[in-house]
Chains A and B, each alone.
Chain A
Amino acid sequence: SQTIHQWPATLVQPVGSPLSLECTVEGTSNPNLYWYRQAAGRGLQLLFYSVGIGQISSEVPQNLSASRPQDRQFILSSKKLLLSDSGFYLCAWSLVVSTEAFFGQGTRLTVV
């Protein structure tokens, strides 16, 4: 069966510091991968999605970037965090774009 791992679960970082969140999927090949952010009182916002190694699509302009160095690895990064980057970050995968996505357990990021 397929599983998705996302870490760390919680993270407190100072403003201006770098960020690296990692997500890996097991049990499937060539998944579509997604990064979402969930802010209090708002719906999930798609940040990036990838249909293959090195292929990244960005949905919103922001202080973040994503990379997919391996088939089942998806990384969310920032060079300098802003206070507004605080939130709940979720990684997800799907077999194809037209099917349901399965989510990791999320990372609670607090920028101080």
Chain B
Amino acid sequence: EDQVTQSPEALRLQEGESSSLNCSYTVSGLRGLFWYRQDPGKGPEFLFTLYSAGEEKEKERLKATLTKKESFLHITAPKPEDSATYLCAVLNLYSGAGSYQLTFGKGTKLSVIP
């Protein structure tokens, strides 16, 4: 069974204090890993897609990296507006009926204090 574990569950940072969020996964054949940001009461907002180990993507203060077992979301000099829950999801595709399998982690709730 595919599993996705995000850590920590919650993270409090001072404004400007850089840190990393972790997403470790166990899948039989990774076809893609996605990062999302979710604000309270809203739908997830897409951030990054990573397809292969060694790949990196950047957007403003965020940088996502991927290895064969985990992904990191690095946040550099965060601001209060970066406060949100960050979700990762892994995609596996199986042959035959019901072949789509996207498994989400429970998320990391990030709070950035001014």
Residues of chain A having any CB pair with chain B under 8 Å: 6, 41-46, 49, 57, 59, 90, 92, 97-106, 108
Contact = CB atoms under 8 A, between A and B. Distances in A.
B89 A44 contact: yes
Contact of A43 (B34, B91, B99, B107): B107
Contacts of B41: 106, 108
Contacts of B97: 57
Interface stretch (B11-19, B43-51, B59-67, B71-79): B43-51
Interface of B: 4, 31-32, 34, 36, 41-46, 49, 87, 89, 91, 93, 97-107
Contacts of A92: 43
B98 A42 contact: no
A98 B46 contact: no
Contacts of B104: 43-45
Contacts of A41: 106
Contact of B100 (A44, A57, A106): A57
Nearest to B105: A43
A90 B98 contact: no
Contact of A59 (B34, B91, B98): B98
Contact of A98 (B42, B91, B105): B91
A43 B98 CA distance: 20
Contacts of A90: 43-44
A57 B98 CA distance: 6
Contact of B49 (A45, A46, A49, A100): A100
Nearest to B51: A98
Contacts of B42: 105-106
Given A42-B106, A57-B97, A99 B49 contact: yes
Nearest to A106: B43
Contacts of B87: 43-44
Contacts of A43: 4, 87, 103-107
A45 to B, nearest CB: 8
